Every structure is written in structure tokens, then in C-alpha cells.
Amino acid sequence: MDPTRTLAALAALTLLALAHAHTDAILELTDEQYYEMPRLFALDEWAGCRAARGVYCVGSFELSPERRPHALYDVMQRYSANWVDNFNHTRLHRGLCLPRSCASHAPPAPHVPRAQHYAAWFEACVNASMSAAYNLSAQLSRLEYCAGAGAEDDVTPLSASQRGFAGFVAALLALAALSTALDLTLSDHAKKGAEWTLAWSVPACWRALHAPPPRSARTDLASFDGLRVLTMLVVIVEHVCWITTHTYLTDTRIYEEIRGGVDVVLMTNSTLVVQIFFIMSSFLLAHKLLQQRRRGENVPPVATFVSTMINRIIRLSPSYWVVVWFAASWWERLGRGPMWAPLVASEAAVCRRKWWTHLLYLNNILYADDKCLIQTWYLAADLQLYALCLLLTLLLWRWRRAALLVLTALLLAALALLFTLAYSWHLVPTLVMHSPESVRVSYSGDMSFNLLYQSPLGNLPGALAGLLLAHLHHALLDNDVQLPKYKVFSCVSVWSVLLAACWVGVSPRALGRGPPARLPAAALAALERPIFSLFTCAALLGAINGVPSWVRRCLSWRGWACWARLSFGALLLHMPINKALVAARLMTSQLDRQTAIAEWFGVAAVSYLAALPLALLVELPAQRLQRALQTRASPPRPARPPHAPPASKADL
Ligand SMILES: *[C@@H]1O[C@H](CO)[C@@H](O)[C@H](O)[C@H]1NC(C)=O
Ligand SMILES: *[C@@H]1O[C@H](CO)[C@@H](O)[C@H](O)[C@H]1NC(C)=O
Ligand SMILES: *[C@@H]1O[C@H](CO)[C@@H](O)[C@H](O)[C@H]1NC(C)=O
């Protein structure tokens, strides 16, 4: 054998191995190694800087070695290569006070524009400290702002939108006062025919909030209320940690270390529970229609489609649009701090740009990379899928048995399509998608978020599962099947709750640590929602058919009803409230299990409290007004079955 060729082959192999080792991610570092790396986040004293008439700059820097080889930089790169769990440690984030922190680094050219001068000063200052301490040079990659004292001393005059919103709130309060006065003084006789004047009556709305939920004999929907509140609480804890990830963290070591813990995976991956909302929403829609079919009512397809969609939009929109208006107007005036502009003001600017997509319920599709009130992707996707499910139910109206087959086939087709897309575009499942750097930029440009998470397509399996559940339930009712008599089904249904939770907490472990391989990632990305939905549907089918279990007993507690009615407001408000609370901090934020617990319950309490005035002044009055006007337009028909609730409070 030719020795030179052997040598060359050996050299090539060694090079390959070296190259491999070089790009290989480091999964573990000791504490000593970890804290040798430069701190990722640091903030100077903010109030003191303003008092000293300094200029406060916030921005991000990219580090590079001044000369190679640079052992520390290699470690930083390889540790950051595990982007699923770790921040990118070659990217620093700083808030500094000029000239307090860097009097000696002022660049000499005072005739450049002032903004450029401060940016250059900021960069020189961080670069000098990195160079001295680590032999690394730092380049300013993103400047959030450089602002002198007095630049934002709240002297900005109110914009037209802000004045409009203030006037709107004043009008609401006046309406409520007037309506309440009328309600308290008019006789019952005088109220007849003038119900619309009483729509804003606060005591009447309060009673509506506390009304016992409607119950029906064969379908027990009582557990939906508890489920809605608990799901909302799960969403809130996930968002609490999510928002803190956006700000500057005091200690990134704890954050990165606990990311693999079962409880943290369960929490981070719990955004899957949004599927429960989709299931409930399409189930209730189909259930209401199929009930009409069982009663033999005449359901004209086109008229039903139009009126059901209009009712849905009227039910969702008033509170939603008010909150979007608030976010685009007053939100950014309500606080200040070093992180206020990057966190709140920037999002408010997006809201001013794309508010109209929210009015059209297309905010998850149009300008999908710009996030205003990120949680409202759900409302848009829900309305889009609601229309589709309504259409499917009306199309399958006549074929009772075939409906189940058609829906199952559609579900399988959706799965196949999702898997194909996930595989060909390298999409990743939920937990991987919530990687620290991706969260920091609110998933901007992330196809996994745009295509799987917030698009109607990605959530189609959940909606179809709810539709299937309703059709299955009615098929069982038609055949008079008593599910609690079937021991095996009862057992499966009760255990499904636990299986769903295990699926959320354990399924991401199948991918192993670090960046996942393509095929398993695509498979999990396509299957995680459908499998979670499957378990949820099995549990719900048991619950609505009266299979006894302690979970169902807890969820059916009557006390949940009022909280369930406030959940929609809490969904809208918890993000702006939480973000304002975090952005007003003067210091970096701590994020570990202990602070997460405290902030979870704090944010939940404030959100539900804030949802109360929203419900009493906007949501319930709008519904009462609509009902009053509808009954005026079409005088009460005696044909209306007494047990059909006038407006199904049940969805969301
Ligand atoms: C970390 O950030 C640097 C600089 O922005 C970038 O070049 C690098 O690709 C990032 N690393 C990872 C793993 O994303
Ligand atoms: C930086 O490099 C110089 C020259 O190579 C060396 O003397 C010094 O110890 C290095 N400093 C650090 C913090 O690594
Ligand atoms: C950072 O400082 C080093 C040494 O002082 C210098 O060579 C380098 O050009 C600087 N880099 C930037 C981006 O200013």
C-alpha cells in the first residue's frame, strides 16, 4: 500500500475528527468553568444615572477573540452550540451609564451626530473592559437606545389615540353609571322593552358573572369550567418564565441548569395545553349544532354559518379590541426603567403598526414575525378554525356515520402534511422551539413558530379532535350507550389525564440532550399536539358521560364558573400586565423555581382582578346589549327551547 496515501487518509480522518470535536457542543461545564465566561447580562444603576444627568445606553455585543487560539472563546462557542438549553454566550447584553462607567473611553470625535457619538462611546467602553479582562473584542451588534436624562421625562403630549382611549373609558364609566341608575330606579314594568338601556348595569352584569352554569342531563359539561381556569393558570406560569427570559437575567447558570428538570420541562412544554382550548371550542360548537339536529330543528346551512360566525365575533371582539387599543396607546406610558423601551415601547410600536390585523383576526398570518400581544395568535387561529369546523359540521350534517370516518381521515391527512412540512423545513417541537435565544427575539423568523405553533394548520389536529369528540359523543347518545358501564373505557379515560401530563413532561426527552436530530424532531413536532389531544379527548369523553373520577369532581366545582368567565379577560391581560411589571424593574431579574412560583400567583391574581372591570364594563354589557337588540328585532319566539342558554357562555 502506498504510504503517502495512507498518511493522507489518516490526516484527513484526524482532521475530520478534530473538526467534529471542534463544533461539538459541550453539554456540561463545572461552576468554575462556567463563571470564567463573561457575564451575559449587566445593568448599571439607572435612577442614579438619570440623577447624574448621564446617558444610559442599552445594547447587545458580539464577542470575538483578539487572537487565536483562544481557549475560553472556544469553550464559550461550544457551550453555546447547545442552543436548545443555553444562551449564546458569545453575545453580551449591557446597560451602561455614560460617562459614569466609562469616563476614560470617550471617543475623540465630537462633531459626529450625538447618537453616533454615544453609540461609539458605549462600544469602546464595553470593548475595553472585555479586552482587558478576557482578550476578547466586543462589537456593538444591536443598540436598543442611548437616552439622556430628560429625554423621556413624560412630557410627550398625548397622541390622538391616547386621548381617544381616555375618552372611551370615560364614556364607558358614564354609561355604566347611567345604566346602573336606571336599573336601580325603574320599575320592572318600565324596564320591559327597554332592556338595551340596562346593558351596562353593573349589578346586573355582576349577577350574570355569578349565574350558575347551565346544566344538561345527558352531557355533563360542568368540568369545562374548572378545566378552563386551570389551563389558564398553566398558560400564565409558562408566560411568567417566558417574559423573564426576555429581560436581563441576574444569573444564567441556574436558568440553563434547571432547564432539563422534569418540572421545568413540564412547565416549558405546557404551551401544549392550548390544545385544550381548541378542543373545547370546536367540541362546544359542534355539540350545540348536533343537539339541534337531535331535536329535529331546521338548520339552514348558510344562515346558520353566517349567524354563528357573527355571534362568535361579537362575543370575542369587544374585550379583545379594547385591550389591543390599550396596548397601542396607554400601555407604554404606564412605567419606565432601563428595560422599558426594549420590552414595552417596542411591542407597543408593533401594535400601532399591525392593530388592523388583530381586528381582522389575521394577526397570526399577516406580519407573523412582528408580535403584538403574542398570546392573541390563539384568538386568530381559534376563529379561523372555528369557521372551518362550523363548515365541516354543516357539510357532514346528513351523514351521521360517515362523519366520523371523514373527520378521522382529515385528521390523519393533517398529520401527514404536518410531518412532511416539519421534516422538509427542519422544524422542531415546542420545547426546542422555546430555546432561550429564540424566546429573546420572540421567535422572529422562526418557521417552527409561524407554521406549527401559531398557524391554523398547526392547530388543526386539536380542533378536529374536538369535532370528532362531539360527533362520537352524539353517536353514543344516538345508540344510547352508557359509557360508565364499560370498565375498561372508564379506566382508560381516568388515566388519560395523567398520561397527558406525562406526555408533556416526558416526550421531549426522547430527543436526547442538545440540538435534536432531524427525523425525531420532525416526528415529535408533528405528533406532540395530536397525541396530547387524543389523551385529552379520552378524558373529556369520560367526564362528559359521567365516568366518576376525582379529577372530574374537582373540575366540576361550582365555584369555577365565575373564574371561568373571567378567564378570557385574564388571557388578554396577563401578558401586558406581566410585561409592564418586569420591564419596570431597575435591576436584572432572577429566574428560578422560587421566584417563578411567587410571580406566577402574583401575576395570576392581578390578571384575574383586572379582568373583572373588563368583564363588567365591556364583555358582559356587549353581550347583554346584543341579546336585548336581538330580542327587540325578533320578538320572543315561543318555539325557543327553554334549556338552550341564550348565549353559550361555555366557549372559553
Ligand atoms: C452565537 O452568536 C454569534 C454572534 O451573533 C453567532 O455568530 C453564532 O452563530 C451564535 N451561535 C449559535 C450556536 O447560534
Ligand atoms: C491576554 O493576552 C496577553 C498577551 O498574549 C497575556 O499576557 C494576558 O495574560 C492575556 N490576558 C488574559 C486575561 O487572558
Ligand atoms: C476593541 O479593542 C481592541 C484593543 O483595544 C482594538 O484592537 C479593537 O479594534 C477594538 N474593537 C472594536 C470593535 O472597537
Kind of pairing between the strands at 41-43 and 91-98 = parallel
Do 388 and 241 fall into the same domain? yes
Quick check: is 19 in a domain?
A: no
Indicate the top mutation candidate among 26, 40, 88, 139 to test ligand 1's pocket, ranked by most ligand atoms within 8 A of CB: 88
The last residue of a domain, from among 153, 174, 196: 153
**DSSP for residue 247:** S
Phi first, then psi, for residue 500 (nearest 5°) are -60, -45
Q: What is the pLDDT of residues 80-109, one digit of tens each?
A: 999 999 999 999 999 999 988 888 888 886
- Which pLDDT score is estimated for 215? 78
- Please report the atom of ligand 2 found closest to the CA of residue 134: 13
pLDDT of residue 111: 78
- Residue 239 Cα to ligand 1 midpoint, Å, equals 25
Q: What is the DSSP letter of 432?
A: H
pLDDT at residue 530 greater than cutoff 70? yes
Q: For residues 354 and 367, is the Cβ–Cβ distance under 8 A?
A: yes
Q: What is the pLDDT of residue 153?
A: 58
State the distance from the centre of ligand 2 to the C-alpha of 97, rounded, in angstroms: 27
Query: Does residue 347 sit in the same domain as residue 440?
Result: yes
Q: Are 259 and 597 in contact (CB under 8 A)?
A: no
Helix crossing, 223-246 with 560-583: angle to 10°?
A: 0
DSSP string over 581-626 = HHHT-SS-B--SHHHHHHHHHHHHHHHHHHHHHHIIIIIHHHHHHH
Q: Which ligand is nearest to the CA of 36?
A: 2
Query: What average pLDDT score do residues 182-194 get?
Result: 88
* pLDDT of the residue at 648: 38
**Ligand 3 pocket: which of 127, 129, 130, 141 to mutate (most atoms within 8 A of CB):** 127
Q: Is 249 part of any domain?
A: yes
pLDDT at 433 over 60: yes
Preceding omega of 456 cis (within 30 degrees of 0): no
Mean pLDDT of 265-293: 96
Q: What angle do CA 50, 54, 58 make, to 5 degrees?
A: 85
The string of pLDDT tens digits covering residues 109-120 is 667 888 899 999
Substitution candidate for ligand 1 out of 61, 83, 91, 440 with most atoms within 8 A of CB: 91
> What is the distance of C-alpha 148 from the center of its chain?
34
Q: Are residues 229 and 88 in the same domain?
A: no
The answer to whether the beta carbons of residues 90 and 75 sit under 8 Å apart is no
Which of 119, 153, 187 corresponds to the end of one domain? 153
Burial class of 393 by CB neighbour count within 10 A (0 to 12, 13 to 18, 19+): buried
Q: Are residues 149 and 240 in the same domain?
A: no
Beta bridge partners of 229: none
Average pLDDT over residues 246-264: 94
CB 347 within 8 A of CB 403: no
Please report whether residue 13 resides in a domain: no
- Which atom from ligand 1 is nearest to the alpha carbon of 63? 4
> Counting ligands in written order, which one lies closest to the CA of residue 62?
1
Ligand 2 nearest-atom number relative to CA 133: 13
> Are the C-beta atoms of residues 83 and 517 closer than 8 Å to each other?
no
- Is 562 in a helix, a strand, or coil? helix
Q: Give yes or no: residues 286 and 396 share one domain.
A: yes
How many whole angstroms from 88 Cα to the centroid of ligand 1?
Answer: 6
**Which ligand has its closest atom nearest to the C-alpha of 133?**
2
Q: Tell me the sheet residues that pair with 98.
A: 55
| Cα(557) to centroid(ligand 2), Å | 67
**DSSP secondary structure, 69-126, as one string:** --HHHHHHHHHHT-TTTS--TTEEEEEEEETTS-GGG--S-TTS-HHHHHHHHHHHHH
Query: How many Cβ atoms sit within 10 Å of the Cβ of residue 410?
Result: 17
Compute the Cα dihedral for 598, 370, 317, 387 and give only its sign: negative
Helix (H, G, I), strand (E, B) or coil at 223: helix
Indicate the number of domains in the chain.
2
Residues 6+ apart with CB under 8 A from 48: 97, 100
Edge to edge, the sheet with strand 55-65 lists 41-43, 91-98, 55-65, 136-148
| Residues near 56 by beta carbon (within 8 Å), at least 6 away in sequence | 44, 46, 49, 50, 95, 96, 97, 98, 146, 147, 148, 338
Question: Residue 196 corresponds to which cell in the numbers above?
Answer: 338595551
Query: Is pLDDT above 70 for 11?
Result: no
Residue 639 forms part of a structural domain: no
Indicate the pLDDT class of residue 635, thresholds 50, 70 and 90: low
Residues 266 and 129 in one domain: no
C-alpha 467/C-alpha 381 separation (Å) is 16
CA 81–ligand 1 middle distance (angstroms) = 8
Max Cα separation, the chain?
110
Residue 319 lies in a domain: yes
Q: Identify whether residues 432 and 329 lie together within a single domain.
A: yes
Q: How far is the CA of 119 from the centre of ligand 3 (A)?
A: 14
Does ligand 2 come within 6 angstroms of the Cβ of 135?
yes
Residues 605, 482 share a domain: yes
Which atom of ligand 2 is nearest to 132's Cα?
Answer: 13
Determine the pLDDT at residue 650: 38
125 shares a domain with 262: no
| 324 Cβ below 6 A of ligand 1 | no
In short, whether 137's Cβ falls inside 6 Å of ligand 3 is yes
Average pLDDT estimate for 477-482: 93
| Residue whose CA is at the smallest distance from ligand 3 atom 4 | 131
- Please state, in angstroms and rounded to a whole number, the distance separating the CA atoms of residues 322 and 385: 23
Spacing, Cα 139 to ligand 3 middle (Å)? 8
Residue 189 lies in a domain: no
249 and 351 share one domain: yes
CA pair distance 190, 169, nearest whole angstrom: 28
Cis-peptide into 99, omega within 30 deg: yes
Pair 125, 266 in one domain? no
* Ligand 1 pocket member 397 (CB < 6 A): no
User: How far is the C-alpha of 445 from the C-alpha of 275, rounded, in Å?
Assistant: 23
The residue from 111, 128, 153 where one domain ends is 153
Q: What is the pLDDT of residue 17?
A: 41
Structural domain for 108, as ranges: 29-153
432, part of any domain: yes
Task: Count helices and strands (H / E) in the chain.
Answer: 27, 4
| pLDDT above 60 for 126 | yes
Does 225 lie in the same domain as 97? no
Rg of the chain in Å (alpha carbons): 28
Q: Note the pLDDT of residue 246.
A: 94
Is there a domain that residue 50 lies in? yes
